[in-house]
Amino acid sequence: MSTDVDVLVSGAGVAGLAAAHALGGLGLRVLVLDKQREIRPVPKGELLQPGATDVLADWGVADELAADGALRLSGLTVRDPHGAALLALDYRTLDTGRPWLLVHDYHVILAALARTLPASVELRRGVLVRELVRDEHGRTTGVRTDGGDLTAGLVVAADGLSSRLRRNAGIEVERADYPHRLAAFELTGQPLGDDVSTYVTSRGLAMRYSLPGERARLYVQVEPDELRGVDASAAGGWIDGLVRDVPALAPLREDVARAWSARQVLPVGRSLTTSLAADGLALIGESAHSVHPAAGQGMNSSILDAASLAARVRELDGDLAPELLAPLLRAWSTGRRPELIAVGTTSHNATRMISDLSPFGRVLGRRALRKTGRNRRLRHTIMHNMAGLGQHSLSPLDRLHQLGVLPDPRGGQLPSWARSR
C-alpha cells in the first residue's frame, strides 16, 4: 500500500529530531511535524552524556555544537553546602572516546539537529497533529492535521510529556510527581568552573554549571509555592536565605538578583508508559518516559530511544509492511523498556539522595553519598550508567555497601567488567 511518507514524526523536540536523523539515515522518507512555528528558548536540557554524544557525533551534530561553542565539562560533583566534595564522578576516567559532558542550550541543540537532517527528511513547523488515523483493525495508518490526513507506514509519537498521540492510542502511563519544584536561573557574568556541582543542603538540592558565553545555569529546589508573589523587591531576602543555606553560592548573590525577573519555576516528576509501541506507532522521548532533571538523563535517553528504534527498523530493509512492522515494534518495546526502567531507577535514586527533606531520608541520603563517594567500584559503576555507556545495575548487596551496612572488600578497585576491558 502506498503512503504519503514512510515515517511520520509528531514533535520536533530532541526526541522527534533524533528519530528523524536515525530513521532518515536508513533512507526512509520522513516527515516531522511540530505545532510550534519556531524553536523557543527554554531551560530544558543542556547536559549531553557521552553515550548520546557518540550518537550525535555519528549524525554530524556534535561537530555543529562544538562550532557553536558547546562546553566540555569534566564530570559531576556532589558537594556539601560549603562546597566540599562528597562524591565526585570524574568523567575523564571513563573508557570512552568522548569522556566529558557536552553542554549547550536546548534550543541550540534542537537547531543543530534540525540543520543536519538527512536529505530524505522534511520538517514542517506550525502544524498541529490532532489525532491518530487508524484502520478498521485499530492499526495506526497516519495522523490528522488541520490541513488533512497524512498516511505513513510508521508513526512516531515524539510530542512530549502531555502527548496527545499516547492518550489517543490508549497507552497508559505510570507517573509520580516530586513534592518540590526547581527554580531555574540563567546567570551572566562569571564562568562557574569545569564541572556540574550539586549541593546537598537543608533546603534540598542546588545545582550549578557553566553554559557557553560566560553564562551559568543554577537550579534551586523550592517548595511549590515558595516563590509565588516574591517580586524583585522581596528577592533580596530570599537570596540571603539561599546563601545562608548554601554558603558556597555566596559569590553568585548579585548574579541571582540580576536573573530574578527571568527565573522559571518548573514542576518535576517521573513517568513511564506501560508500552512503547502499538500497531504502527512508536513512542519515544517524554511522550513515553521522563525523569528528574538532576541526573541529566532525559534528553540522552530520548536520543538513545531513536537510535535503538532505528537499529530495529533497519532489519526491515525499507519494507514497513504492517505484518513485518508490528512484531518488530513489540520486540523493540520489550527490549528498550527495561533499559528505561534502569535509567529511571538511577535518576530516582540519585535524586532521592540529594533532595529528600524527610528526617529519615536526609540521614540515609547523606550516609549513602559519603559511602558511595569513598567506594571506587560503586562510583565508577554509577558514572558509567549515568554516562549512557550501558547499564551495570547495582545489586541488593551493593545497596547495603552504599548504606555502609556491610563493608565492601572490593570498594577500592574498579568494577571487574571495567578492569577486563
d(CA 213, CA 222): 27
The neighbour count for residue 333, using CB atoms within 10 Å, is 21
Is residue 229 exposed (0-12), middle (13-18) or buried (19+ Cβ within 10 Å)?
exposed
Residues in the chain: 421
Regarding 34 and contact with ligand FAD (CB under 6 A), the answer is yes
| Contact stretch for ligand FAD (CB under 6 A) within 155-163, 325-333, 337-345, 412-420 | 155-163
d(CA 48, CA 60): 15
Regarding 81 and contact with ligand FAD (CB under 6 A), the answer is no
Regarding 300 and contact with ligand FAD (CB under 6 A), the answer is yes
Task: List binders of ligand FAD among 179-218 (CB under 6 A).
Answer: 182, 184
Regarding 105 and contact with ligand FAD (CB under 6 A), the answer is no
DSSP run (H or E) holding 355: helix 322-355
Regarding 286 and contact with ligand FAD (CB under 6 A), the answer is yes
According to CB under 6 A, which one of 7, 9, 11, 20 is a site residue for ligand FAD?
11
Is residue 98 a contact partner of residue 50, using CB atoms and an 8 Å limit? Answer: yes
According to CB under 6 A, which one of 3, 35, 93, 357 is a site residue for ligand FAD?
35
Regarding 158 and contact with ligand FAD (CB under 6 A), the answer is yes
Regarding 414 and contact with ligand FAD (CB under 6 A), the answer is no
| Cα 303 from chain centroid (whole Å) | 9
According to CB under 6 A, which one of 6, 8, 10, 141 is a site residue for ligand FAD?
10
Regarding 160 and contact with ligand FAD (CB under 6 A), the answer is yes
CB of 271 to ligand FAD, least distance (A): 11
d(CA 222, CA 245): 12
Rg (the chain; Cα; Å): 22
CB of 284 to ligand FAD, least distance (A): 7
Closer to ligand FAD by Cβ: residue 204 or 296: 296
Residue 210's DSSP bridge partners are: 216
How much of the chain is helix, strand and coil, in % rounded to 5? 40, 25, 30
Regarding 297 and contact with ligand FAD (CB under 6 A), the answer is yes
Q: Provide the pairing of β-strand 281-283 with 148-157.
A: parallel
CB of 93 to ligand FAD, least distance (A): 21
Q: Which residues would be at the binding site for ligand FAD (CB under 6 A)? A: 10-16, 33-36, 43-47, 128-129, 158-160, 164, 182, 184, 266, 285-286, 293, 296-300, 302
